[in-house]
Amino acid sequence: MKTYQPNEIKNIALLGNDGAGKTTLTEALLYEAGIIKRRGRISQHNTVSDYFPVEQEYGYSVFSTVFHVEWNGKKLNIIDCPGSDDFAGAAITALNITDTTVILLKGSAGIEVGTQNHFRYTEKLNKPVIFLVNQLDDENCDYDALLEQLTNTYGSKVVPVQYPVKTGPDFNAIIDVLLMKKYSWGPDGGAPTIEDIPASEMDKATEMHKALIEAAAEHDESLMEKFFESEDLTEDEMREGIRKGLASRGMFPVFCVCAGKDMGVRRLMEFLGNVVPFTTDMPCVANTAGEEVKLDPNGPTSLFFFKTAVEPHIGEVQYFKVMSGKVHEGDDLTNADRGSKERMAQLFVCAGANRFKVEELVAGDIGCSVKLKDVKTGNTLNGKDCDNRFSFIKYPNSKYSRAIRAVNESETEKMMNALQKMREEDPTWQIEQSKELRQILVHGQGEFHLRTLKWRMENNEKLQIVFDEPKIPYRETITKAARADYRHKKQSGGAGQFGEVHLIVEPYYDGMPDPEVYRFGGQEYRINAKSTETIDLEWGGKLVFINSVVGGAIDARFMPAILKGIMQRMEQGPLTGCYARDVRVIVYDGKMHPVDSNELSFMLAGRQAFAQAFKEAGPKILEPIYDVEVLVPSDKMGDVMGDLQGRRAMIMGMSSESGYEKLSAKVPQKEMLSYSTALSSLTGGRASFVMTFSSYELVPADVQTKLVAEYQATQTE
C-alpha cells in the first residue's frame, strides 16, 4: 500500500440512528473498494463491523469500527459509529478524530432522535455534515417528505445533490443534479448505467441543479461573481464551491443510496473522494499547552491514541491518529502521559477485524498497533524533541448509575480488573469505589449501556454480577447553635480511662464573625479563642475547630484527640450515617485526671459530646441536586414536564432548539436514578437529556423523617 500524504487523506465519521444501515453501508463501501471479496450480512454474523460477540448477540453496534478505502488515488479513513446514544462515547471520539460527518437516515423514518443527537455533536465541534438517505427501496419511504423535514429542521443549508426517480420495492435509479445524469442499476446493484436525464425528469432536475449551483457559489467570491454573470458553473467549480460550503458548515448536501442492494455506493465514494475536505483543509488541533499542531509530515512525530479494542487471541489493539510527522515500523517513541518508552513494532491500517501491515503512516492518517506495553486510550506518543500532549475529546457526563457486585465476593478483584479493561474501550464508563456509600458504582449513559456491560461480564469474563440501586450521598448539617458535655469514664483495674469535654456546635458559613457570647438555658458562655483550625472536608464543606479552654481544664496535648473524635463522627453523621458538613465546634471546658486521662478517653468524649450537641442543633439532611436539560419533541412536552414535577423537579425554563423543546430543571439525584429508562418509555426513545451536579439543598421534612427512620432501623438491627 502506498504512503498517503495529508493532502490525499480524508477522515470521515459515519453516524446515524440505530437501524439506519451503517453496518450494511460499510460492507458495500469495502466491497466496492475491493477490500473485501463479498458483502457480509448482519443476520449471518459475518460483517466487517459488529464483529464482537456482544454485537452479534444483540444485533446492534456497541463499538466504533475503523476502516479505510482507497479510491482514485485518495485514502478515505472512515469510522462507523454505534447509533444508540448509550454508546455516544464512540461517536464523540470519531467526530474529534475525523474532519467530515456522514449522517445516515432511514428512508422510511426520516429524522430520528439519533439524527438529532448526532447533528448536535457536529454543531458543538463545528464539523461538516453530509446527509445520506438509505433504504430507498422501503415501501414506506417518501423522499420528498423526508427532504422537506430536513429543510424544516436544519434550514436552507440542506441542498439535495441527488433524488430517486421512485422509491419503494421498485427503486433502481437516481438523478444526480451535480453531474446532471441518471444512474440506474440492475437487481444486483454495483456498477451503474449512466444515461442522460429523461425528459420527464428534466424540469425537476434543472430546478434542483440551479439551487445547487447557487448554494455552491455562495461560499466563494469569484464563483459568486461568475454565477451572477452567467448563472452557471463548471463541474469543477461546483465541486470547489461545495467543498468550501461543507468546510464552513454553510451547506449540508443530501445523497441517496440503497446500501443493501449496493446502489449509489460507488457514486457516493466518488463524491467523498472528489469533494469532501482533505485533512489539510480543516483547522489544526491544539495540544494541552494551547499550541496548534500542524499536520506537517516533516514535523516531529506525534501520535494520539483514541481507541482501545480488546480482541480475542490478540489482546489490546490500539488505534491512533498521526497528529504530526510520520511513524515507521520499529520507531522508538516516548509516552508523554506515562513517561515510558514504546517501540512501534508493527503498524497496520484497519478494515474492522481485518488489518493490513504498512511500514509508514504520515500526519493526518489513522492506523493501529498491537502488543504495546504501556499505552492507554488518550495517551500521546512522541518522537525526539517533541513534548505534545492532547486532551481535546470531552465526553458527556453519565446519566445512569448502578452499584455493582460480584455474586461470588472472592471475585471482586477480578471484576474490578474487567471493569477497568472495559473503561479503556469505552471512556464514558466511570468506575467509582465509594468509601462513603460502601459500594462499587458504575456510571454509564443508560440502561442499555449497563445491560451490555452485564452481558460482557457474564459471557466474556465468566463473572456473575448483580446490579443494585446506588445509595444517595446525602449530607448532614445543623441550623442552630447547641451545647453538650460528655464524660467518658472507665475503670477496670490499674490505669483507667477518663476524659470530659464541654463543647458548642453551630452552623458555619464563610466569613462568619468570631464567636463571643452564647446563652443556653439561662446561662451565659463567654468564648476566648486560643486557637482556630479550619478543615476543608474532602466531601465538601468545612469544619472549624476552636480551642477556647481556659485555666488548663484540658491539656493542649489532648485537643488533637478531641478533634479526631469529632471528625470520626462527621464521617458517620449522627442522623443517617452520611457525611456531616459546615459546622463550627468550640471546645470551651472539660476535666481531666492526672493518671487516667489519655488520647483515647478524650477522642471518645469528644465524639459523644459532638453527637449529642449535633442532634440538639436543628439537624437537617441535604441532598444532591442536579441541573437537568431535556430535549423533547413538542408533542411530548406535557408528558415530560408532568413526569419531572412528579420527581420533585423545579422547572427553570423552556426554549426551542432545532424542532425540539429544551426543558431546564433542577432535580434531586434520588429522583434521577432510573430517569433515562422512564424518559425513553414516555417519548418512544425520541428525547434525550444531560445532567450535571449543581448543589446540595435541604430535603423536605417528610423525606428527612423517612431517611432517619430507615437509618435507625438498620442501627437497631
Q: pLDDT tens digit string along 59-109?
A: 677 889 999 999 889 999 999 999 888 899 999 999 999 999 999 999 999
pLDDT digits (tens, 9 = 90+) for 379-398: 999 999 899 999 999 998 89
Q: Whole-prediction pTM value?
A: 0.85
Q: Which residues of 172-209 are buried (b: 16+ CB within 10 A; e: fewer)?
A: bbbbbbbbbbbbebeeebeebeeeebeeeeeeebeebb
Residue 310 · residue 421 · CB < 8 Å:
yes
Residue 306 · residue 96 · CB < 8 Å:
yes
**Gap between the terminal Cα atoms of the chain:** 71
Collapse the DSSP code of 690 into the 3-class scheme (helix H, G, I; strand E, B; otherwise coil) and give the result: strand
pLDDT digits (tens, 9 = 90+) for 594-629: 888 899 999 999 999 999 999 999 999 999 999 999
From the list 51, 50, 52, the residue with the least C-alpha distance to 61 is 50
pLDDT at 58: 67
Within the chain, all domains assigned CATH 3.30.230.10 are found at 476-618
From the list 364, 347, 272, the residue with the least C-alpha distance to 5 is 364
Cα 49 from Cα 429, distance rounded (Å) = 22
> Is the per-residue pLDDT at 303 higher than 90?
yes
Q: How confident is the model at residue 35 (pLDDT cuts 50, 70, 90)?
A: confident
Neighbours of 341 (CB within 10 A): 12
> Is the per-residue pLDDT at 195 higher than 90?
yes
pLDDT digits (tens, 9 = 90+) for 397-455: 899 999 999 999 999 999 999 999 899 889 999 999 998 899 999 999 999 899 999 99
Average pLDDT over all residues of the chain: 92
Residue 341 · residue 383 · CB < 8 Å:
no
- Grid cell in block for residue 218: 455562495
pLDDT at 433: 94
> Is the per-residue pLDDT at 500 higher than 90?
yes
Collapse the DSSP code of 633 into the 3-class scheme (helix H, G, I; strand E, B; otherwise coil) and give the result: strand
The least confident of 29-33, 227-231, 501-505 is 227-231
pLDDT digits (tens, 9 = 90+) for 315-329: 889 999 999 999 999
pLDDT at 473: 95
Q: How confident is the model at residue 717 (pLDDT cuts 50, 70, 90)?
A: low
Kindly provide the residue ranges of all beta strands, DSSP E only, lying in 96-218, ordered along the sequence.
100-106, 129-134, 158-160, 162-164, 173-176, 181-184, 193-195
Cα 322 from Cα 295, distance rounded (Å) = 8
pLDDT digits (tens, 9 = 90+) for 336-376: 999 999 999 999 998 887 889 999 999 999 999 998 999 99
> Is the per-residue pLDDT at 266 higher than 90?
yes
pLDDT digits (tens, 9 = 90+) for 98-135: 999 999 999 999 998 889 889 989 999 999 999 999 99
Cα 604 from Cα 9, distance rounded (Å) = 70
CATH number, domain 621-703 = 3.30.70.240
The residues, ordered by sequence, that sit 6+ positions from 400 with a Cβ below 8 Å of its Cβ are 443, 444, 445, 446, 447, 449, 450, 674, 676, 677
pLDDT at 50: 59
> Is the per-residue pLDDT at 641 higher than 70?
yes
In three-state form (DSSP H/G/I as H, E/B as E, the rest C), the secondary structure along 329-353 is CCCEEEECCCCCEEECCCEEEEECC
Q: How confident is the model at residue 236 (pLDDT cuts 50, 70, 90)?
A: confident
> Is the per-residue pLDDT at 49 higher than 70?
no
CATH architecture of the domain 400-471 equals: 2-Layer Sandwich (3.30)
Q: What percent of the chain has pLDDT over 70?
A: 98
> Is the per-residue pLDDT at 492 higher than 80?
no
Q: Label residue 27 left, alpha or beta by phi (over 0 means left) and psi (-120 to 50 means alpha).
A: alpha
> Is the per-residue pLDDT at 280 higher than 80?
yes
Q: Label residue 189 left, alpha or beta by phi (over 0 means left) and psi (-120 to 50 means alpha).
A: left
Task: Tell me phi and psi for residue 237, to 5 degrees.
Answer: -65, -40
CATH fold for the domain made of 476-618 = Ribosomal Protein S5; domain 2 (3.30.230)
The least confident of 332-341, 485-494, 675-684 is 485-494
Residue 385 DSSP symbol: T
For residue 567, the Cα-to-chain-centroid distance in whole angstroms is 36
Cell 465476593 belongs to residue: 409
pLDDT at 502: 97
Mean pLDDT within 166-193: 94
Residue 77 · residue 365 · CB < 8 Å:
yes
The residues, ordered by sequence, that sit 6+ positions from 458 with a Cβ below 8 Å of its Cβ are 464, 465
Q: How confident is the model at residue 658 (pLDDT cuts 50, 70, 90)?
A: low
> Is the per-residue pLDDT at 480 higher than 90?
yes
Q: Which residues of 675-684 are buried (b: 16+ CB within 10 A; e: fewer)?
A: bbebbbebbe
pLDDT at 657: 73
Mean pLDDT within 212-217: 90
The least confident of 66-75, 187-196, 387-396, 680-689 is 680-689
* CATH superfamily of this structure's domain 6-281: P-loop containing nucleotide triphosphate hydrolases (3.40.50.300)
Q: How confident is the model at residue 234 (pLDDT cuts 50, 70, 90)?
A: confident
pLDDT at 223: 80
pLDDT at 603: 97
Mean pLDDT within 672-684: 91
Within the chain, all domains assigned CATH 2.40.30.10 are found at 294-382
Cα 132 from Cα 446, distance rounded (Å) = 27
pLDDT at 112: 87
Crossing angle between the packed helical segments 637-645 and 675-683, to the nearest 10 degrees? 150
What CA dihedral angle connects 677, 686, 453 and 121, to 10 degrees? -130
Residues in the chain: 717
* 194 to 180, 182, 210, 263, 469: CA distances (angstroms): 10, 6, 21, 13, 60
Kindly provide the residue ranges of all beta strands, DSSP E only, lying in 224-379, ordered along the sequence.
252-256, 285-286, 292-293, 302-311, 315-324, 326-328, 332-335, 341-343, 347-351, 354-358, 360-362, 366-370
Between 55 and 639, residue with greater pLDDT? 639
pLDDT at 90: 94
Within the chain, all domains assigned CATH 3.40.50.300 are found at 6-281
Within the chain, all domains assigned CATH 3.30.70.240 are found at 621-703
Residue 88 · residue 125 · CB < 8 Å:
no
Consecutive H or E run containing 697: strand 688-698
Task: Tell me phi and psi for residue 581, to 5 degrees.
Answer: -155, 165
From the list 384, 592, 438, the residue with the least C-alpha distance to 502 is 592
Q: How confident is the model at residue 534 (pLDDT cuts 50, 70, 90)?
A: very high
The least confident of 171-175, 684-688, 690-694 is 684-688
CATH classification (class only), 294-382: mainly beta
Cα 677 from Cα 643, distance rounded (Å) = 12
Is the alpha carbon torsion for 58, 61, 62, 68 positive or negative?
positive
> Is the per-residue pLDDT at 478 higher than 80?
yes
